[in-house]
Amino acid sequence: MQKHKTYFRLLFIFLFPATLILSQNKVDTLLKTIEQKSDTTKIRLLNDFCFTNRNKFPLLALQAGQEAYKIAVKVDDKILQAKSLNFIGVVHRNLGSYDKSITLYKRALSLAEEANDSVEIAYSYNNIGGIYRLEGNHKHALEYILKALAVFEKLKDKVGMAYCTVNVGLIYRRQQNYIKALEYLNRTLSIRNEINDRSGKAQALDLIAEVYFDQEDIERALNYFTEAEKVYSELNDKKGLASVWGGIGEVYYSKKDYSKAITYRQRALEMSDKIGYIEGEITNRNNLGLIYAKMGNFSKADQNFNTALKIAANTKEIYSQLECYKFVAQYNEIKKDFKSALFYSNKYHQLKDSVSNEENIAFVAEIESNYKAVKVEKENAMLLKDVMFEKRQKNYWVVISFLVVLLAVFIYIRYHSKKITNQRLRELNAMKDKFFGIIAHDLRNPFSAIFGYTNILLHEFESLDDEEKKRLISSIDDSGRQTYKLLENLLYWSRSQTGGMDFKPKQLNLKEIILEVFFLLEPSANYKNITLNTDAEENITAIGDEDMIKTVLRNLVANGIKFTSHGGKISVYLKRESNHVEITVEDSGIGISKEIKEKLFQIDNVSTSVGTNGEKGTGLGLILCKEFVEKNRGKIWAESEIGKGSKFIFTLPAKNI
């Protein structure tokens, strides 16, 4: 034990000569306390010290956590090993070392699974999801966080639930869904108050303030920031103070009180530097750079922006890189360097597009584009729109050409095969006709709309007011999203026809899949005030390919939303039979006539239908559902009457056959 004591004291001497001297008595007390304790007690106390000081003294917390892990390994306690690794991972996350964090979290998850410890499994899930969130991979983030939340809710573990809900709130904020962000963050605040977690309460207050600031509710944001600052100060939470001071600085910047803005931003930067809070360093330097630019001090602005760019280049935190590009673009606009502004604006959009693709945003939710980059002179702004539009247009036609060639080759080979039956030939011809019909009609229409809107913007830009411009841009965005969804379904369909999709059946937790689909489609449902509901039990499982079954449920629930009026309801429920599970998607929509119902799932009878809000579609979604359900050895059918809603039902094997 004397060796441990010497180790910690040397750490103080070399790493914390000034900033940690006040905590020396606490460390000495801890070391003296644990010297005569059992190994299990030592681990618990060291882990507590690690977690409590993760924001105040992160490097010291790191050493305490590592010491706890060593003892846990010595006594071969996998649960305590997992707990220590999760705590160490949190410290590395706060220091910006995401690769180290996720490696530690995954090791913790493996150990927790070996020990069958639900609590540490759930914490590992949530921690892994948190790293994916920071890296901009919201799809994987939600998969892990929702798994964790389900476990914590089952255990009635409110501490764990609060960690999950704050992560979900942050994802909604990134998607600019501020209503849902506030819902989850206020839920977090309520739980933190209930369990008397003051540190967690302060964090929730800070994050709620940031959402109100995003909504330009400045005074309410300042009130929440001030309340959070008070709690953080009482707790001496250095990372928390750095965050809240930055927020207060942003409030004063928005009020054009640059003197106070610099004061708070500088305090936040100094604290971030002191504790190694990388994200805080980047954010505060970017904001300081912009404030100095507004004051005409370009020398200090350059210094801050250059430093921020260098730090961001060495981190995997994708939103910090996005932030740098956006701020530097704005800075160059202030300097009237429009060429550089356009360069950084393009870098911002290219990186943002990669995040959007990674999140699979066309299926995740109907999230509005976060287009808030630099506003250069009108000529440069129009040039940027033209360049980006031409790029998208080129990408669309490349994909379309590829699909045409792919399907043409597919039809040619099938047509000349001696083994093909006449019935199969008729099906192929129907597929060919449908495919080219979509190319000729359903793809042409949205492109015609896009060309029309952009033509108006190009030739009448000066005469349009801001609201008219926003409406035109919104219409272009809607047409682009419709086209992208259609291309996604075409790609899935053509890959399924040519055997290009991997088929990986496994045991699926159907309730988890249902909840994930609900989460992804919730914005579309909320837009029409439609309730999404399920009473599925936790323990009902089936055998199937996870990606295919998610695609089936997404299409069926999205169709329900499309054909259900405002204020309606969509329910998904499960029925376990002896050899299979029956999944039903029921809506309270307009229903389907007998004639149309008989033609559903037939490629040669597919027709475009219009939803209750004028939503457009091609009918390919149901064809895709039939393909995927049958691939998974199931059946699919519909039950419906006009005016009485619809039920779409499909089956999956309950076990391997």
Q: CA 554, CA 632: separation in Å to the nearest integer?
A: 16
Is 446 inside any structural domain?
yes
Q: Is 18 exposed, middle or buried (0-12, 13-18, 19+ CB in 10 A)?
A: exposed
Q: CA 78, CA 549: separation in Å to the nearest integer?
A: 35
- What mean pLDDT comes out for the span 439-453? 59
Three-state secondary structure call for residue 7:
helix
Rounded to the nearest 5 degrees, what angle is found at the Cα of 469, between the Cα atoms of 477 and 332? Answer: 90
Radius of gyration of the chain (CA): 28
Long-range contacts at 319-323 (CB < 8 A, ≥ 24 apart): 319/134, 319/136, 319/174, 320/278, 320/279, 320/282, 320/283, 321/351, 322/348, 322/351, 322/352, 322/355, 323/282, 323/283, 323/286
pTM here is 0.47
- Please say if the pLDDT value at position 344 is more than 70: yes
Of the CA atoms within 13 Å of residue 174, those in its CB half-sphere come to: 28
Q: CA 87, CA 51: separation in Å to the nearest integer?
A: 6
Give the residue, 616 or 126, on which the prediction is more confident: 126
Q: What is the pLDDT of residue 362?
A: 34
Question: CA of 141: how far to CAs of 132, 135, 145, 422, 657, in Å?
Answer: 5, 9, 6, 48, 33
According to DSSP, the β-strands at 569-576 and 580-587 are: antiparallel
- What mean pLDDT comes out for the span 223-231? 93
Give the residue, 503 or 231, on which the prediction is more confident: 231
Q: Quick one: 509 and 649 in the same domain?
A: yes
Q: Quick one: 547 and 632 in the same domain?
A: yes
Is 550 inside any structural domain?
yes
Please report the beta strands in 383-536, taking only residues with DSSP state E, as ranges in sequence order.
Answer: 505-509, 531-534
- Of 647, 481, 463, the residue nearest 557 (C-alpha): 647
Q: What is the pLDDT of residue 397?
A: 64
pLDDT in tens, 597-625: 877 877 656 555 655 655 555 566 788 88
Least confident range of 316-320, 461-465, 570-574: 316-320
Give the residue, 621 or 250, on which the prediction is more confident: 250
Is 626 inside any structural domain?
yes
Q: What is the pLDDT of residue 364?
A: 33
Domain boundary among 464, 497, 530: 497
- Please report which confidence band the pLDDT of residue 116 belongs to, taking 50, 70 and 90 as the band edges: very high
Least confident range of 42-56, 380-394, 536-550, 634-648: 380-394
- What mean pLDDT comes out for the span 348-374? 44
Torsion angles phi and psi, residue 505, rounded to 5 = -70, 145
Question: Using an 8 Å Cβ cutoff, are 626 and 601 in contact?
Answer: yes
Three-state secondary structure call for residue 57:
coil
Amino acid in position 177? N
- What mean pLDDT comes out for the span 423-436? 57
- Please report which confidence band the pLDDT of residue 370 belongs to, taking 50, 70 and 90 as the band edges: very low
Q: CA 641, CA 344: separation in Å to the nearest integer?
A: 55
Give the residue, 375 or 515, on which the prediction is more confident: 515
- Please report which confidence band the pLDDT of residue 402 belongs to, taking 50, 70 and 90 as the band edges: low
Q: Quick one: 509 and 641 in the same domain?
A: yes
- Please say if the pLDDT value at position 361 is more than 50: no
Give the residue, 324 or 446, on which the prediction is more confident: 324
- Please say if the pLDDT value at position 24 is more than 80: no
Is 519 inside any structural domain?
yes
Is 398 inside any structural domain?
yes
Tally Cβ neighbours within 10 Å of residue 325: 24
Pair of tokens at residue 332: 């160059």
Name the strand (E) or helix (H) holding 49. Answer: helix 39-52
Q: Quick one: 391 and 489 in the same domain?
A: yes
Q: CA 36, CA 39: separation in Å to the nearest integer?
A: 9
Q: Quick one: 476 and 562 in the same domain?
A: no
How many percent of the chain have pLDDT more than 70?
72
- Please say if the pLDDT value at position 478 is more than 70: no
Is 161 inside any structural domain?
no
Q: Which residues are CB-contacts of 359 (< 8 A; sequence separation ≥ 6)?
A: 136, 137, 138, 139
Q: What is the pLDDT of residue 54?
A: 81
Q: Quick one: 482 and 509 in the same domain?
A: no
Choose the most confident range, by mean pLDDT, from 36-45, 116-125, 475-484, 605-614.
Answer: 116-125
Rounded to the nearest 5 degrees, what angle is found at the Cα of 629, between the Cα atoms of 627 and 630? Answer: 65
Question: Using an 8 Å Cβ cutoff, are 261 and 269 in contact?
Answer: no
Least confident range of 57-66, 156-165, 234-243, 426-435: 426-435
Q: CA 496, CA 624: separation in Å to the nearest integer?
A: 8
Q: What is the pLDDT of residue 477?
A: 72
Q: Give the mean pLDDT of the chain.
A: 78
Q: What is the pLDDT of residue 417?
A: 58
Give the residue, 49 or 493, on which the prediction is more confident: 49
Find the length of the chain. Answer: 657
Q: Quick one: 515 and 489 in the same domain?
A: no
Q: What is the pLDDT of residue 106?
A: 92
What are 210's strand-pairing partners? none
Q: CA 289, CA 308: separation in Å to the nearest integer?
A: 9
- Of 547, 516, 522, the residue nearest 146 (C-alpha): 516
Question: CA of 596: how far to CAs of 34, 606, 607, 641, in Å?
Answer: 75, 9, 9, 11
Give the residue, 652 or 96, on which the prediction is more confident: 652
Q: Quick one: 592 and 477 in the same domain?
A: no
Q: What is the pLDDT of residue 566?
A: 87
Q: CA 322, CA 301: separation in Å to the nearest integer?
A: 18
Q: CA 539, CA 154: separation in Å to the nearest integer?
A: 12
- Please say if the pLDDT value at position 12 is more than 80: no
- Please report which confidence band the pLDDT of residue 377 belongs to, taking 50, 70 and 90 as the band edges: very low
Q: What is the pLDDT of residue 441?
A: 47
Give the residue, 189 or 486, on which the prediction is more confident: 189
Q: Quick one: 626 and 516 in the same domain?
A: yes
- Please say if the pLDDT value at position 316 is more than 80: no
Question: CA of 435: how far to CAs of 266, 400, 410, 412, 444, in Å?
Answer: 60, 11, 12, 15, 13
- Please report which confidence band the pLDDT of residue 227 belongs to, taking 50, 70 and 90 as the band edges: very high
Q: CA 22, CA 172: separation in Å to the nearest integer?
A: 40
- Of 101, 70, 71, the residue nearest 86 (C-alpha): 101
Residue-range definition of the domain harbouring residue 566: 505-653
Q: CA 242, CA 252: separation in Å to the nearest integer?
A: 16
Choose the most confident range, by mean pLDDT, from 86-100, 412-426, 455-469.
Answer: 86-100
Q: For the chain, first and last CA: distance in Å? A: 59
pLDDT in tens, 136-192: 788 888 889 988 988 998 899 999 999 999 988 988 888 788 898 899 999 999 999
Q: What is the pLDDT of residue 537?
A: 85
- Please say if the pLDDT value at position 639 is more than 80: yes
Q: CA 24, CA 26: separation in Å to the nearest integer?
A: 5
Domain boundary among 497, 527, 552: 497
Amino acid in position 484? Y
The domain that holds 538 is classified in CATH as 3.30.565.10
Rounded to the nearest 5 degrees, what angle is found at the Cα of 510, between the Cα atoms of 505 and 511? Answer: 155
Torsion angles phi and psi, residue 217, rounded to 5 = -90, 75
Q: Quick one: 647 and 547 in the same domain?
A: yes
Domain boundary among 497, 517, 537: 497
Q: What is the pLDDT of residue 123?
A: 93
Is 548 inside any structural domain?
yes
Q: What's the number of domains the chain is made of?
A: 2
Is 124 inside any structural domain?
no
Q: Quick one: 625 and 516 in the same domain?
A: yes
Q: Quick one: 526 and 639 in the same domain?
A: yes
CA 456 to chain centre: 34
Question: Using an 8 Å Cβ cutoff, are 596 and 620 in contact?
Answer: no
Q: CA 102, CA 171: separation in Å to the nearest integer?
A: 18
Q: CA 78, CA 115: separation in Å to the nearest integer?
A: 6
Q: CA 652, CA 579: separation in Å to the nearest integer?
A: 9
- Please report which confidence band the pLDDT of residue 584 belongs to, taking 50, 70 and 90 as the band edges: very high
